[in-house]
Amino acid sequence: MLVASCWGSAAVSASDDVLQRLAPDLLGSELTGVFEDAELTCRQDRADLSRCVATGSARWTLGGVSLNAVEAVFADHQLARVAVYFPEARFADVLPFLSACFGAGEDWSVTLRAGMAGQFSDQIRLWETDRFVLVAQQYDGKIDRSSVIYGTTRAMAPLVQRIKSSPRGGLRDL
């Protein structure tokens, strides 16, 4: 497993970590197989698409950082994408953990334009592998929310296209 080396580099209980319970290696796995290690509640969006969220009783983390939300998307009953959200204040703790697991990644940071002519840097890191794509974003649509989203190349294509539509260091609206 690709993330196995991560557990030795951080004070993390692998059984609580989203990269263990919903590991990138599980992408493409059948829905029933994923439920063996993850406590999720699902709803059918379309005949071919299910969205599952972590149940309230499950304690989910990423590199030791508590998560606000975990969502798994299944396309044709196979795990296609996982999105996790956590407080922006903890982004600086998550990024080194991801770098220890997957390497430095590609820096695709931009400058965000907010109301009242405010501007600030939005760190975005992108990992593209043969098996999956992973994106870590400091500000994901909100000033106080960060995210890590990973999935199959196909499932991640719209997000990667949106990120790459802004040049590195470019200006983008929040």
The Cα–Cα gap between 133 and 108 comes to 14
Domain residue ranges in the chain: 2-166
| pLDDT confidence band for 9 (50 / 70 / 90) | very low
The mean per-residue pLDDT over the stretch 116-122 comes to 78
State the pTM of this model.
0.87
128-167 tens-digit pLDDT: 999 999 999 998 888 889 999 999 999 999 999 999 988 7
Strands 110-113 and 171-173: parallel
For 65-144, list the strands marked E by DSSP.
Answer: 65-66, 69-75, 78-87, 106-107, 110-113, 119-122, 124-128, 133-137
H/E stretch holding 18: helix 18-21
Do 67 and 91 meet the contact criterion of CB atoms below 8 Å apart? no
